[in-house]
Amino acid sequence: MATTQSRPQERTARELLTQGRPLFLGVDGEGAAHYWDSYEFAVAVVKADGDAEKVVLAETPFETLSEWCEYTRGEHGWDIGSHVGGSLVGDLVRGVEA
């Protein structure tokens, strides 16, 4: 039976962000899910234990989503998500930065 229930990490991200359906970026090497909100230009980082934070890119040294993804790749690695291969996130970043 199909369900419309979202994952707990996604529900937490929705509570942190303005955008009703933030874009799932992936899960880093430490198990934290990352969600992008293009309205706020922010990333919700939700750990497997439920701890979460909203990272507004303007309050960091990272100016673009691409820089955030590269930072995360360098610090934690990416385990799950389209940016492991780079194609979908690369397309998204190019679209956002255009």
pLDDT tens string 40-57: 999 999 999 999 999 999
Q: For the whole model, what pTM was predicted?
A: 0.77
Q: 14 or 4: which carries more pLDDT confidence?
A: 14
Cα 32 to its chain centre, rounded Å, is 9
Nearest to 64 by CA among 32, 31, 90, 29: 90
Is-contact 83 77, C-beta < 8 A?
Answer: no
pLDDT band at 61 (very low <50, low <70, confident <90, very high): very high
What letter represents residue 20's amino acid? G
Domain layout of the chain by residue ranges: 8-94
Is the model's pLDDT at 90 over the cut of 70?
Answer: no
